[in-house]
Amino acid sequence: MELGQILVTEKDIQRRVAELGERITADYQGREVFVIGILKGAAVFMSDLIRQIKVPVEIDFMSLSSYGTATKTSGVVRMLRDLDREIAGKHILVVEDIVDTGLTLSYLRENLMVRKPASLKICTFLDKPSRRQVELKPDYCGLEIDDYFVVGYGLDYNEKGRELPYIAVVKP
């Protein structure tokens, strides 16, 4: 894997995560938020984000896949890991690393809504609206980016690059 330009620096990531934490804190004032991190990519973002949220937080994880080892989505969503806890009546915040076509999150939203949460919002660090194949707009978004394949800050290419403290473009 060869890296191209750095799209988001470590400092910009920290600033944006703090801003998202402030917005989420304001929106959930007086309530507890149940944060669901989508593995593996959102783990780094989620761990930073929950430390910026100043209301009670409960966490769990799910794992879904539509990529396998490719750089383009297959369009078929598979659930690899479900929640350990019930979410009925809880205020849910799904935390994702990146929203691309929207297929995975659309599937996930439908799956979670059947479980009757009090509310459900989506927070993503990166959004690629130009690639959207379904109607889906995250409630909280760190940054919108163009149609690049990126790694770093939890995002990977074939399980490589997650540890990078910045977000960079992968050269084709």
Residues with active-site annotation: 100
- Nearest CA to 149 out of 5, 49, 48, 44 is that of 5
Long-range pairs, 71-78, Cβ under 8 A, ≥24: 71/149, 71/157, 71/170, 73/100, 73/101, 73/103, 73/104, 75/101, 75/103, 77/103, 77/104, 77/107, 77/108
Question: What is the residue-wise DSSP string for 18-78?
Answer: HHHHHHHHHHTTTS-EEEEEEETTTHHHHHHHHTT--S-EEEEEEEEES-TTSSS--S--E
Distances (CA, A) of 149 to 10, 45, 88, 130: 18, 18, 36, 13
